[in-house]
Amino acid sequence: MEQLARFGVDLPADAMDEGTRADYQAALDAYESAKRAVPGLTRPEEVGTVMDILSAGRYALACGQARLEGRPVPESRVPCFFNPQHGPSVRDVLWTLPGSGTRTVPACAQDASRVAHGEQPEVRKVRYGSRVLPYSDAGAAFLPFGKNYYSTAVLQA
């Protein structure tokens, strides 16, 4: 939501070109649609639908940002594995999680750079019982967040 709120702060919507305006509107629509859908969720499996809507919104926002900056529109890819809130991944990276082995995962530009430089990526943390841990380690309760994007092997490795 913060990225959406900051989008085009210095450029009013009527000053955007048609493509940028369409991307911005698609991102706004996706956010509103997800916000309306959340109160109606009744089962964990339904979270995937909201994640799909948010992912489409993040991609639209990434496209609009690229247009504003004069860059090519990014390839449509799955969200960043480390934190889907980072938006679309830009490439796959080889990542080793201590105790879980090495796997190939999709990463946003910032996390891909961190991994390439031997740093830890910015992993999304969730509360699971009394503990706070990476969402990918939280078991079945959080599998719906990634089931449409990442293989089960990646999520449970």
Please determine, for residue 88, whether its predicted confidence score (pLDDT) is greater than 80. Answer: yes
Residue whose C-alpha is closest to residue 55's, from 34, 24, 82:
34
- Report pLDDT for 23: 92
Q: How far is Cα 119 from Cα 131, in angstroms, rounded to an integer?
A: 24
Q: Taking the chain, what is the end-to-end CA distance rounded to the nearest angstrom?
A: 30
Name the residue ranges covered by the structural domains of the chain: 2-68, 84-156
Res 100 pLDDT > 50: yes
pLDDT at residue 153, rounded to an integer: 47
Helix count (H) and strand count (E) of the chain? 5, 4
pLDDT tens-digit series, residues 18-70: 999 899 899 999 999 999 998 988 877 777 788 788 888 988 998 998 998 89
91-97 vs 101-107, strand pairing mode: antiparallel
110-154 confidence digits (pLDDT tens)? 999 999 999 989 888 888 788 888 877 776 656 555 555 555 445
Across the range 92-100, mean pLDDT stands at 82
Residue identified by tokens 């969730």 is 126
Q: How confident is the model at residue 79 (pLDDT cuts 50, 70, 90)?
A: confident
Q: Would you place residue 1 in the very low, low, confident or very high pLDDT band (cuts 50, 70, 90)?
A: low
86 or 2, greater pLDDT: 86
Model pLDDT, residue 144: 54
Confidence at 157, pLDDT banded by 50, 70, 90: very low
- From the list 73, 44, 28, 56, the residue with the least C-alpha distance to 147 is 44
Instruction: Name the pTM for this structure.
Output: 0.64
Residue reference for tokens 């449509």:
76
